[in-house]
Amino acid sequence: MVLRQTQVLERTSRPLEALEWPRPVPKVGEVLIEVQVCAVCHTELDEIEGRVPARLPVIPGHQVVGAVVESRCTKGPAVGTRVGVGWIHSACGQCQYCLGGRENLCPEFLGTGCHVHGGYAQYMVAPAAFAHPIPAGLDSVEVAPMLCGGAIGLRSLRLAGIENGQTLGLSGFGGSNHQVLRLARILYPDSAVLVWARDPEQRERALADGAAWAGDTEQSPPDAPAAIIDTTPVWKPVLAALAALAPGGKLVVNAISKERADIDQLGRLDYPKHLWREKMIQSVANVTRRDISDFLELAADHERLRPATRTMPLDEANEALLEMRFGAIRGATVLSVR
Ligand SMILES: [Zn+2]
Ligand SMILES: [Zn+2]
């Protein structure tokens, strides 16, 4: 059996190609999923451009929604169940990280659509234990982007470790922190959220969505946040955020990589200003299954967590990626397979 539709990354720095590809066969413990939609993520660009090393050739895509059509597992989602697959394809289940609830740090962590084939195809396989049943009432197109951006946003917010009432800062206001603001308004309703963004339109959106203050990246905030989540691609805002933190505060850096263009900013690191008084800095790596399933549950209960989307056919994946690379697209792009 050959897949009717695929988009394959064969070599870095080349567009994806529609190739004939054998239909995957599930192993014991796995399910075969007929893909309905797969959202487009910046990580696909990182894979194509070589910043995130993928096992090539690979079918990308890690925000997949589809129906289980074959199961080789006694537990887990039955045939006919609508499931979502996110970035976490699998982890060993036995190491100290897996046993300690941090399977995102497992040395055997495999990323969907990077180390194993993902959802830019008509069918894919996934371990049954890593295929998330989707709550009824959620639209598949809206669910797809939640599987990455939503889950990582929730993880960042949890790592920030604030309590309701403590001030939260968000540095950068792209898709991810936009989702974090909405989550924070739900989970910490008495916390003021302060947003730094360069783009005036983003600052307006932040205020409209419940931020207590929105300023340009150079501006001083009205209050010192107990935690700040940084999603910017550069270093300057990292120093600004460390300087703005309250004593004992934590900076959570939610970025796969940082550009080296302004790495010299780190030369301005001033211990008393940026780190003294027990300030902390932590990155966010991958997601756990719990991040995904908890976000889906929250989204089922809170309509405002459902993202704005637009749909394109799978065979226009390269156009969708190019638009994300060069255009300022609002909302998430979701590729439709059928
Ligand atoms: Zn992603
Ligand atoms: Zn492990």
98 alpha carbon, closest ligand:
2
pLDDT of 312 > 90? The answer is yes
90 alpha carbon, closest ligand:
2
Residue 122 near residue 61 (C-beta atoms within 8 A): no
Summary mean pLDDT of the chain? 95
Would you tell me how many other CB atoms lie within 10 Å of the CB of residue 91? 24
pLDDT of 126 > 70? The answer is yes
Q: Look at residue 265 and give its three-state secondary structure.
A: helix
Say what the pLDDT of residue 3 is.
79
Residue 37 near residue 311 (C-beta atoms within 8 A): yes
Q: What is the pLDDT of residues 87-108, one digit of tens each?
A: 999 999 999 999 999 999 999 9
Torsions phi, psi for 256 (to 5 deg): -70, -35
Say what the pLDDT of residue 258 is.
87
Give mean pLDDT, residues 108-125: 98
Q: What is the pLDDT of residues 249-267, one digit of tens each?
A: 999 999 888 888 899 999 9
CA 112 to ligand 1 centroid distance, Å: 10
CA 169 to ligand 2 centroid distance, Å: 32
Nearest Cα to 125, choosing from 72, 82, 74, 48? 72
CA 242 to ligand 2 centroid distance, Å: 32
pLDDT of 150 > 70? The answer is yes
CA 126 to ligand 2 centroid distance, Å: 17
CA 300 to ligand 1 centroid distance, Å: 20
Give mean pLDDT, residues 201-227: 95
Work out the percent of the chain whose per-residue pLDDT is above 90: 88
Say what the pLDDT of residue 328 is.
63
Query: Domain limits of the chain?
Result: 30-139+306-336, 151-283
CA 115 to ligand 1 centroid distance, Å: 14
Q: Select from 3.60.40.10, 3.40.50.1370, 2.102.10.10, 3.90.180.10 the CATH code of 30-139+306-336.
A: 3.90.180.10
CA 110 to ligand 2 centroid distance, Å: 10
Where does 151-283 sit in CATH, by number? 3.40.50.720
CA 278 to ligand 1 centroid distance, Å: 32
CA 168 to ligand 1 centroid distance, Å: 24
Say what the pLDDT of residue 338 is.
72
Q: What is the pLDDT of residues 293-310, one digit of tens each?
A: 999 999 999 999 999 899
Alpha helix stretches (DSSP H) within 107-168: 140-145, 151-160
100 alpha carbon, closest ligand:
2
92 alpha carbon, closest ligand:
2
**H-helix or E-strand spanning residue 244:** helix 236-244
CA 270 to ligand 1 centroid distance, Å: 34
52 alpha carbon, closest ligand:
1
Detail the DSSP E strand segments found in 237-285: 250-253, 280-283
CA 129 to ligand 2 centroid distance, Å: 14
Say what the pLDDT of residue 1 is.
75
Of residues 1 and 324, the one with the higher pLDDT is 324
Task: Count H helices and E strands in the chain, helices first.
Answer: 9, 15
CA 94 to ligand 2 centroid distance, Å: 5
CA 197 to ligand 1 centroid distance, Å: 22
Say what the pLDDT of residue 52 is.
92
Say what the pLDDT of residue 331 is.
78
324 alpha carbon, closest ligand:
1
147 alpha carbon, closest ligand:
1
